[in-house]
Structure formats: C-alpha cells, structure tokens
Amino acid sequence: MFGAALVVVLASLLVWALLVGRNQGVEATRSHAIKAPPRVGTNNGATVITIDYETQQRSGIKTDALVAVAHQENIRAYGMVLDVARLTELSNNFNRANAEVQTAQAKLSVSRAVFDRSSKLYNQTKAISEAQMQSAEAAFVTDQANLAAAQAQVRSLTASAYQDWGSVIGKSLVDQSEKVVRLIERQEFLLQITLPPGAVLSVAPATAAVQSGKGARTKITFVSPATHIDPKIQGVTLFYAAPAEDGLLPGMNVVAFLPTGKIINGVTVAASSVVWWQDRAWVYQRTNPDKFVRVEISTDVPAPGGGYIVPGMPPDIQIVSSGAQLLLSEEFRSQIQVDEDN
C-alpha cells in the first residue's frame, strides 16, 4: 500500500511539473510577442508605420508616383430627373385650345358671311324678314364670343407655359417645336440642377455632366434657368436635358458637375489608393523605403478615368496604390494593443 501511494504521489508531481512548464512556455511566448518591435510610432505628431521590404513584398504593398494634371474646375451640384407629366398635360390642353380657336374662326367666317348677306338682302331689297336678319346677326355675335373665349384660353395656357417652364420650354410648347416634343415623347429627360448655396456661375455652361448612383456619367445640355428652386437647397437652379437612352429615369437623384471655365492644377489619385475613416478620405504616403504616413485628401473632383483629382498635393511623391487597407488595419491594430496593455 505504501508503494502504491508513493507511485500516486510521484505521478501527481510529474503532472504538476508538466503543467507548470507548459504555462511558463506560454507566458514566455506572450512576453516575446509583446516585446516584438512595434511597427507603428510617431514622428512630429504624425503616425508612422514601419514595414520592412520583405513584409511589403509578402503583403503586396506597392506604391506609385503621383502625376501632375491640369483639370477644368467643376462645381459639384445636385440634380433630379423631372417627371414632365404636367408639361404633357399642358401641351395637350394647349393643342386642344388651339383646335377650338380654329373651329371658332371657321364658324365665325361662315356666320359673318351669312350676316353680311342677310343685312344686304334686308336693308336693300327686303328679300328676307327682319327676324331672319336678326337670327343671322345673333349667330354671328355668338361665334365672335366663342372665338374670343377660345383665344383667351390659348393666352392663359401660353402664360402658364412660360410661368411654369420658362421662356425656352414655354416658347417651344407654344410653337410645338422639336425640343418640347422630344421631352414629351421621352426621347430626352429634363433635369433640374441646383447649385450649392452661395455658388454662382457667371454663365451657365452649355454642357455639363451628371453621375447617377450606378457611377456612370451622362452628358447634359443647358436648356434655360429654372422657374423654381429646390426648397431644401436654396441655390441657383437650372434646367438641363439628357438623352433618355443613358439610363436616367424620372425621380432619380444625380450629382452634377458644372465647369466653371477655370483650370486647376492637381494630381490624379487612383481609387485603390484611398481608404475611408471617419467619413474622410486618406492615402498612405511613403516617406522612406520602409515608412508610411497617412494623409487626408479631398475627393470633390472625380477623375474622368476613375479615382480623384486632388489639388494641393505635390507630384512625384510616392503613395500606396495596393495594400492601403492593410496599412490602415495595422495602424489601428496597434492602437487596440496599446489600449489593452493599459
């Protein structure tokens, strides 16, 4: 029995020694990980990420030099594709009123002739009775009144066309020219473009561009100043037309880019270089072969071929074109580790 007890004690001591040794190994590994040289530091208040060349190659981190570009300055505006049902209804009413004018003119022409003939017959030869002459006169006066009413309706609808849609579209509706026909037949769509509050254009550009939620750009052409503003934005408002085959639909919101005529100098930044944090855009600039710094950029001017045109950044500096998201993750992972240690 003593021998058996001794064996149990020795086995227990052995298990305890193994557990202690394992725990010490884990603690040593953790201590080694914590003591690994940090990749993230600061220099003059800026966060600097240090990544050696081998790690850059393994992680696919690449940089490209920025290229200077000259770009026409644009005002970024807000727009909506309008539903022209009211324009169509107004056009139909105007055409109907015009037809009524033509009908009234035709009736008046006949009744005038009848009245003139009846007056001569009655006054010169008494070939007809006074009652017949008065009946012809009544028909003539009635047709005069009907023509005047039809013409007044046309004038009222003409005024509505100019008030609701402006001089260009209003005149096109009255003349039934190609511009209003293309809008009514949905060969083109009418857009209401509103500039930001305080933004002013000396002359509305003849052509501009809009971008829908799908990212595609569509060329638009100036029509006229708008007759009403967007109550939410309270900016200068313009009418533009866009081809119907470009995927726009009534009620769709778009972003418009209106050229100001000024040329701005900047650099082109690819979309793959941009990371987003706190609703702001950033890129990582290589300051040394193994060091990177996060820099905020403006994305107000999209580049025609994709990415952004950024004013104020010098050309020829190196920014990360592939792997920027990895650097952002590394930067904030280090902050999480520091917080945990504290």
Banded model confidence at residue 335, pLDDT cuts 50, 70, 90: low
Q: Which long-range contacts (CB under 8 A, 24 or more apart) does 93-100 make?
A: 93/157, 94/154, 94/157, 94/158, 94/161, 94/173, 94/174, 95/176, 97/150, 97/153, 97/154, 97/157, 98/154, 100/150, 100/153
Given this model, what pLDDT does residue 96 score? 95
Q: Give tens-digit pLDDT for 82-135.
A: 999 999 999 999 999 999 999 999 999 999 999 999 988 888 888 888 899 899
Q: Does residue 58 come out as left (phi exceeding 0), alpha (psi in the -120 to 50 range) or beta?
A: alpha
Given this model, what pLDDT does residue 36 score? 43
Q: Give tens-digit pLDDT for 204-215.
A: 999 999 987 766
Banded model confidence at residue 1, pLDDT cuts 50, 70, 90: very low
Given this model, what pLDDT does residue 336 score? 63
Average pLDDT of the residues in 170-188: 93
pLDDT at 143 over 90: yes
**Of 153 and 14, the one with more pLDDT:** 153
Cβ atoms of 243 and 192 closer than 8 Å: no
Q: Does residue 341 come out as left (phi exceeding 0), alpha (psi in the -120 to 50 range) or beta?
A: alpha
Q: Give tens-digit pLDDT for 20-76.
A: 455 555 454 444 444 445 688 888 878 899 999 999 999 999 999 998 888 888 888
Tell me the pairing of strands 253-269 and 68-81: antiparallel
Q: How many residues does the chain have?
A: 342
Residue 37 exposed, middle or buried by CB count within 10 Å (0-12, 13-18, 19+): exposed
In DSSP terms, 76 is beta-bridged to 257
For residues 206 and 74, give the distance between their C-alpha atoms in angstroms, rounded to a whole number.
Answer: 13
Nearest to 65 by CA among 223, 295, 285: 285
For residues 264 and 240, give the distance between their C-alpha atoms in angstroms, rounded to a whole number.
Answer: 25
For residues 224 and 289, give the distance between their C-alpha atoms in angstroms, rounded to a whole number.
Answer: 55
For residues 49 and 219, give the distance between their C-alpha atoms in angstroms, rounded to a whole number.
Answer: 43
Can you point out the beta strands (E) in the chain? 40-43, 46-50, 62-65, 68-81, 188-194, 207-211, 217-225, 237-243, 253-269, 275-277, 280-288, 291-297, 308-311, 318-322
CB atoms within 10 A of CB 79: 26
Banded model confidence at residue 6, pLDDT cuts 50, 70, 90: very low
The pLDDT > 70 percentage for the chain reads 85
What is the Rg, in whole angstroms, of the alpha carbon atoms belonging to the chain?
40
* Residue 114 DSSP label: H
Collapsing DSSP to helix, strand or coil, 103 comes out as: helix
**Of 59 and 245, the one with more pLDDT:** 59
Q: Which of 36-50, 215-229, 258-272 shows the lowest mean pLDDT across its residues?
A: 36-50
Given this model, what pLDDT does residue 342 score? 52
Average pLDDT of the residues in 133-138: 91
Given this model, what pLDDT does residue 31 score? 44
C-alpha 264 chain-centroid distance: 22
Report the first-to-last Cα separation within the chain, whole angstroms: 54
Given this model, what pLDDT does residue 221 score? 96
For residues 333 and 325, give the distance between their C-alpha atoms in angstroms, rounded to a whole number.
Answer: 12
Collapsing DSSP to helix, strand or coil, 6 comes out as: helix
Q: Give tens-digit pLDDT for 277-332.
A: 999 999 999 999 999 999 999 988 878 778 888 988 888 899 999 999 999 998 88
